[in-house]
Amino acid sequence: MTRSVFVAACVLAASPAFAQTAARPGVDPHAGHMMPEMMMAAQQPAASARQDNPAIPPDNAASAARLKDSPRHGEWVDIKMPTGAPIKSFVVYPERKDKAPVVLVIHDINGMGDWGRAVGDQLAKEGFIAIVPDLLSGKGPNGGGTEELGPGVGQAIRALTPDDVASRLNAAMAYGKSLPSSNRKTAVIGFCWGGSASFNYAIAQPELAASVVYYGTPPMKTVEGAQVVDPAPLAGIKAPIVGFYGGNDARVTSTVEPTAAEMKKLGKPYESHVMEGAGHGFLKSQASSEANGKAAADAWPLTIAFLKKNTQ
């Protein structure tokens, strides 16, 4: 069962000049659960214990097998940055005769891995060009990314500023628009840390067509010792945002109603779905409980409908 809040889109004024700066949360809301997510594969039942649903992305344990069996064309590319190391990215193409929109996939706090790539492959199955950048490219001790950082991934990812992330996503967005098979419309989807990054990118990039936030938080600030939603950066949002949250994830889900209230005040399009009984990271850990599995099966079709509506 989903509990939904919807704020209707209003007629927006002409876009202001691009501003990359997005508010940083007062505290890192993801710092405390990096290790549990890294242990998730070991905690989950074997992939065979729960039937894989080909209509949605796989759970973490089934990701490698799903990628191996995919009929779609996926390739690694190095996306050039204005300065510094290129962004190592996995690009997956849909099988369709017309031009396709692009979806940027933002990985979670554990960095680039098979699961993020499998999400990209599922998006390609739905008709999108998916670009999955390793946002830690160049941050390794020898200039590499996630795979080189090992246990240092968490520290490296928390060192990325919203401006760092926006500049890297801007490069991925420009690459997607340059592809001959692209319709030049770009959306973004992110999970956990990446969900917060997806929200921030809707603030930073006025040309974005849509933003999908999975269990991520909006910009926060401290007021009289309490962490609250910061309404100031929300004023720059142009793209519609949809969020999916676990009903048993109060750390994140407690920000949903305040976010909806602030977005409504500003006349910004924001739709939220709180999935009853689901925990944090339910899409990636869908095999760990019936509630997570149901949440994943319910949330993904809504995700695809939202993306198609806003990128065609």
Any idea what the CATH number is for the domain that residue 277 is in? 3.40.50.1820
Asked if the structure places residue 256 within a domain, the reply is yes
Please provide the size of the chain in residues.
Answer: 312
| Calculated CA dihedral for residues 155, 156, 161, 165, nearest 10 degrees | -140
Q: Which domain holds residue 281?
A: 47-311
Asked if the structure places residue 97 within a domain, the reply is yes
Asked if the structure places residue 170 within a domain, the reply is yes
Asked if the structure places residue 291 within a domain, the reply is yes
CB neighbours of 25 closer than 8 A, spacing ≥ 6? 196, 217, 219, 220, 227
Confidence of residue 52 (pLDDT cuts 50, 70, 90): confident
Confidence of residue 33 (pLDDT cuts 50, 70, 90): low
> CA-CA distance, 197 to 189, in Å (whole number)?
9
Asked if the structure places residue 26 within a domain, the reply is no
pLDDT digits (tens, 9 = 90+) for 86-117: 999 999 999 999 999 999 999 999 999 999 99
Residue linked to tokens 């990325």: 160
Please indicate whether residue 118 or residue 5 has the higher confidence score (pLDDT). Answer: 118
**Residue 140 tokens, joined:** 């390794």
Asked if the structure places residue 30 within a domain, the reply is no
Asked if the structure places residue 6 within a domain, the reply is no
pLDDT digits (tens, 9 = 90+) for 206-260: 999 999 999 999 999 999 999 999 999 999 999 999 999 999 999 999 999 999 9
The pTM assigned to this predicted structure is: 0.86
Q: How many domains does the chain have?
A: 1
The DSSP code sequence of 89-120 is: EEEE----SS-EEEEEEE--TT-S-HHHHHHH
Instruction: Outline where DSSP puts E strands in the chain.
Output: 2-7, 74-79, 87-92, 100-106, 129-133, 182-191, 210-214, 220-223, 226-229, 241-246, 270-275
Asked if the structure places residue 28 within a domain, the reply is no
What mean pLDDT do residues 250-273 have? 98
